[in-house]
Amino acid sequence: MKLLYKKYASYNVLAEEHRTFVLDIIKPLLFDGEKAGWNYSENYSGNGMHTHPGLHLNPKLRLFYDRVVEDFKTLVRKEPVIKNSWALWTNGQYVNWHTHQNLAMPDGTIVPSGVDFSIVYYVKQHPTIGRSTQFEDGSAVTSPQNSLLIFDSKISHSVPSSTIKINRYSIVIDISI
């Protein structure tokens, strides 16, 4: 585990067989959010495929979320509460700057999310191409597959675009403390 400036990282989060188990669980749960009219975030662009935001309630993923909570406690030294979590598939076709501070309600109103930290777990990605997460301030963090990135949910960020289309599977977790 390594402390980054206002960002935290944890590596080799799961044993390989558990990482592939998590991937096998999330793949069939992914859907095209734009076609389904899904709009949970004020900044949702409809790009990629998503699961619903209650992924942390799936009992098959309990060991994964227990590990994330332990890593969070070790790195941030705070007691986390998981507010939302979803899986995401992208292939580098777009940049979508966003934060996790606000939620779009069905009637279109925007309300605070109550989220303090966002976590990205990199389930599967290309081992050598591209950055894992870029931030609007110009910084970027390259995180290997099977790692966590923890950062303040107010920081604007995006999946980086790529001229080479690569499948990227990640799990996003919103935390309040």
Q: What is the predicted pLDDT for the residue at 94?
A: 66
Domain, as residue range, for 56:
2-124+141-176
pLDDT at position 33? 63
Say if residues 149 and 118 touch (Cβ distance below 8 Å): no
The DSSP H or E segment spanning 148 is strand 148-152
The first and second tokens of residue 50, run together, are: 């998503």
Residue 119 domain flag: yes
Q: Is the pTM of this model over 0.85?
A: no
Looking at residue 4, what is its pLDDT?
A: 45
Q: Tell me which residue has tokens 């227990």.
A: 66
The answer to whether residue 133 is domain-embedded is: no
Which residues of the chain have a pLDDT value below 50?
A: 1-5, 40-45
Question: Residue 149 maps to which CATH number?
Answer: 2.60.120.620
Task: Domain count for the chain, please give it.
Answer: 1
Distance CA(97)–CA(137), nearest Å, equals: 11
Specify if 132 maps to a domain.
no
Task: Confirm whether 92 is domain-assigned.
Answer: yes
Task: Provide the mean pLDDT of the chain.
Answer: 79
Residue 83 bridge partners (DSSP): none
User: What's the confidence (pLDDT) of residue 66?
Assistant: 96
